[in-house]
Amino acid sequence: MNTSKNNIEYQIKKQINEREIAPSRDLWSEIETQTQTNDNSQTKKVNWFLIAACLVLIVSLGVVLFFDQDSKPNVQVAETNNKEVLKENSAKTEKINSHEIIQRNQEKYVELKNVPSQLKSETETSEIITEKKDLPMIKENSKEIAAQISQIPAEKILAKADSAKVQQVKKKRYVDPSTLLFSVEHKEVIEKTKGGSNVATIDLNTK
Amino acid sequence: MKLLFNNKKEDLLSRLKKQDPAAQKIFYDQSVKKFLSVAKSYISDIYQAEDCVIKAFCKIFKHIESFRGEGNFEGWARKIVVNECLNFIKSHKTVFYLDDVHASVLEEIYEEQIVFDFNAQELLDQLPDAYRMVFNLYVIEEYSHQEIADTLNISTAVSKTQLFRAKEKLRKIYFQQQKKLKNEHI
């Protein structure tokens, strides 16, 4: 481009760049209204997009749920229900067993404390011994024990308890109440030996 | 003082980016007259030029986020005004671009004894749209022929031809005006 000041182009450029034309009408009010309408139309567009997106989401969710239900067999549903029921039951038994066992043990322990030691039966003493030993175990591993109890049938639990009692009876360190009772009832038969032990002589022929 | 002025400009720009109506009004007041002058150089009708300026302001405010601070903001805004005017001409008028001119004819035209008391707008108003667009883009906006070709979807050769013809036409109009003035004085 010729930058010489002696040509028409340069003079036109100079005049155009230097001049300012005042608008013949209020352009600002029109700009304001147009910008506001643009903003409104934009929000409307966004709203429409939101609605469309929500509809698509709902439809897709519905389709997924529908086909999911169809694909699952009824047997599986029953199994899951059973499992859930079993879980609930086991949880309940856990809670009940652990609490009840502790409560029962405590009650029995209190009762047995009140009863004179001489009149205690063989079974009661064995129970005290076993239960006294079991108490801390229940406290420590109550959940595991409860779970084990829930899994094992009731008959087996009883059998286990009996065997435990028998074992505990064999391991006892205290005086056998039956021998104690015998010694009280037949004082005249018992004689002390030189070693310090009591020996009872019974004549089997005399009744 | 210069620093303060720059800070004010940056502050105005940041407010414009936040779509602050007060800042938009300030920018409008600062630049509407200049923008209307630019628009008038492309579109002879003042009402149509004003419509283009309104659309340009709306675009500037709407797309201000796309201005990344590269270069002058006024230049960026002015470019929007020019593009709006070009779009208006393209959509409302049928523009004819004449055939190529022989290369030997494309020489610079010098006016040695010209008295520069003419009205530039009167000369531009008499140019056909195709000539005016190319002339304004080349002379006033300082576009290259390649940029003009890309903007108007024409070849660079056509752009050069249009410019040459525009200059020729302007010279003719100018001398006709001068003759008229001389006759009036006599």
The Cα of B93 is separated from the nearest Cα of chain A by a number of Å equal to: 23
Q: Does residue A35 belong to the interface with chain B, where contact is any CB pair within 8 Å?
A: yes
Q: For the segment B101-136, what is each residue's pLDDT rounded down to a tens digit?
A: 554 444 455 555 566 677 888 888 888 888 999 999
B121: number of Cβ within 10 Å: 17
Q: How far is CA B70 from CA B10, B58, B66, in A?
A: 13, 21, 10
What is the percent of chain B where pLDDT is above 90? 41
Could you list the beta-strand ranges (E) of chain A: 190-192, 198-200
Tens-place pLDDT, residues B69-103: 777 888 999 999 999 999 999 887 766 776 655 54
Considering only CB atoms, B139 lies closest to which of A1, A22, A35, namely: A1
Q: What pTM does this model have? A: 0.54
Count Cβ atoms within 10 A of the Cβ of residue A67 and give its class: 0-12 exposed, 13-18 middle, 19 or more buried: exposed
Evaluate if residue B177 carries a pLDDT over 60.
yes
Instruction: Suggest the residue from A4, A5, A12 to mutate for an interface test with chain B (most B CBs closer than 10 A).
Output: A12
pLDDT of residue B106: 46
Q: What is the mean pLDDT of chain B?
A: 83
Mutate to test the interface with B, among A1, A6, A9, A25 (most CBs of B within 10 A): A9
Determine the average pLDDT of the residues in A48-63: 92
Which listed CATH number (3.40.50.1970, 1.10.10.10, 2.60.120.10, 1.20.1250.20) goes with B103-185? 1.10.10.10
Checking if the pLDDT of A136 tops 80, the result is no
- Interatomic CA distance for residues A178 and A206, integer angstroms: 21
Give the tokens for residue B140: 């006033």
- ipTM greater than cut 0.85: no
The mean per-residue pLDDT over the stretch A115-122 comes to: 48
Domain boundaries, chain B: 2-92, 103-185
Q: Do A12 and B123 touch (CB under 8 A)?
A: yes
Q: Are B40 and A20 in contact (CB under 8 A)?
A: no
Q: Which fold has domain B2-92?
A: Rna Polymerase Sigma Factor; Chain: A (1.10.1740)
**Would you say the C-alpha torsion A69, A75, A78, A82 has a positive or negative sign?**
negative
Return d(Cα B179, Cα B181) in angstroms, integer.
5
Q: Which of B128, B142, B121 is nearest to B89 (CA)?
A: B128
Cβ-count burial of B77 within 10 angstroms (0-12 exposed, 13-18 middle, 19+ buried)?
buried
The half-sphere exposure of A47 on its side-chain side, counting CA atoms within 13 A, is 6
Question: What is the distance in angstroms between the Cα of A24 and the nearest Cα belonging to chain B?
Answer: 8
